[in-house]
């Protein structure tokens, strides 16, 4: 029986989606002092799912960020990676200023909010996915995927907040719109309310069907479709 895979080199090849769900749920974080790492991630307000110690030179701890479908694990003899070598770990938020303020309240050192320098990939700033040149402040146009803040755990593993309010088209099925938390839903309501205010200003009259307009706006925003006007 042949086990050769058939692979296309055409990036535009519209292969059918996989028929079996493959949920990415665990990232292993290399740490040097297990209890110190446990105290840090607990301080972030993340949910402690497990702390298993075999008593035989093996321990594994699992935490899950609020609203996340993916967890982290760390411990003793769970990875050969060097402590602090995990970098560019993304935490997606709908309100980056609120997310940053939450960590500050918990006593976590975190960078100021910044955005990338329009595709400039050189500079002396800390490396991250879009380069090494950070510009202070959120993206001036408040675009999704463009505003960040960074922090590290005690071993130096690097985390990034990235603000996303509107996904690129095709990333989310509009028929299955969901919100990860009450905070995300509230943020979506606030954006819909602001947009609806502009809608009423354009039409010059109150909209009695505002719940329908809000719902349409929130679904389209999340799925990356054209927003109602």
How many CB atoms sit inside 10 A of residue 222's CB?
Answer: 23
Share of the chain above pLDDT 90, in %: 45
Q: Which two tokens stand for residue 226?
A: 């054209």
pTM: 0.70
| Residue pair 196/212 in contact by the 8 Å Cβ criterion | no
Q: What is the DSSP string of 82-126?
A: PTT----EEEEES-HHHHHHHHHHTT--BPPPEEE-TT---SSSP
Which residue from 188, 187, 210, 184 is spatially nearest to 197, judged by alpha carbons? 210
Query: Which residue reads 């009695």 in tokens?
Result: 208
Instruction: State pLDDT tens for residues 118-148.
Output: 767 677 888 777 678 888 999 998 888 889 9
The pLDDT of residue 1 is 47
pLDDT band at 167 (very low <50, low <70, confident <90, very high): confident
Instruction: State pLDDT tens for residues 53-109.
Output: 998 899 999 999 998 889 999 999 999 999 999 998 999 998 999 999 999 999 999
């Amino acid at each position: 029986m042949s086990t050769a895979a058939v692979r296309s080199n055409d990036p535009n090849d519209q292969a059918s989606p996989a028929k079996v769900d493959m949920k990415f749920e665990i990232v292993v974080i290399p740490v040097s002092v297990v209890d110190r790492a446990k105290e840090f991630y607990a301080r972030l307000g993340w949910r402690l799912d497990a702390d298993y110690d075999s008593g035989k030179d093996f321990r594994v701890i699992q935490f899950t960020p609020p609203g996340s479908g993916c967890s982290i694990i760390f411990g003793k003899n769970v990875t050969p990676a060097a402590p602090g070598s995990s970098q560019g770990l993304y935490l997606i938020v709908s309100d980056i200023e609120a997310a940053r303020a939450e960590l500050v309240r918990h006593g976590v050192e975190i960078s100021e909010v910044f955005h990338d320098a329009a595709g400039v990939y050189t500079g002396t700033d800390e490396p991250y996915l879009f380069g090494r040149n950070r510009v202070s402040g959120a993206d001036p146009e408040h675009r999704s995927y463009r505003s960040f803040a960074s922090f590290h755990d005690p071993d130096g593993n690097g985390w990034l907040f990235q603000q996303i309010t509107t996904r690129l088209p095709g990333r989310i099925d509009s028929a299955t719109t969901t919100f990860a938390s009450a905070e995300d839903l509230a943020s979506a309501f606030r954006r819909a309310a602001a947009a609806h205010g502009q809608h009423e200003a354009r039409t010059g009259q109150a909209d009695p069907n505002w719940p329908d307009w809000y719902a349409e706006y929130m679904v389209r925003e999340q799925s990356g479709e054209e927003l109602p006007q």
